[in-house]
Copies of this chain bind each other. A is one copy, B any other.
Amino acid sequence: MSREDLAPGPETATETTDADRFTNARAIRSTALFEDYTELIADLTEEFGEARITDIARRLGVTHPTANKAVLRLKREGLAISRPYRGVFLTEAGAAMAREVKARHRLVVRLLIAVGVPPEAAEMDAEGIEHYVSETTLKAFEAYLDGRG
Q: In A108-149, which residues have CB < 8 Å from any B CB? A: 111-112, 115-118, 120-125, 127-129, 131-134, 136-137, 140-141, 143-144, 149
7 contacts between A and B (CB under 8 A): A16-B123, A19-B59, A20-B61, A22-B59, A29-B128, A115-B140, A116-B149
**A58 at interface, CB cutoff 8 A:** yes
The count of residues in chain A whose C-beta lies closer than 8 Å to any C-beta of chain B is 53
Question: What residues of chain A have their CB less than 8 Å away from a CB belonging to chain B?
Answer: 3, 6-7, 16, 18-26, 28-29, 32, 36, 40, 47-48, 52, 55, 58-62, 111-112, 115-118, 120-125, 127-129, 131-134, 136-137, 140-141, 143-144, 149
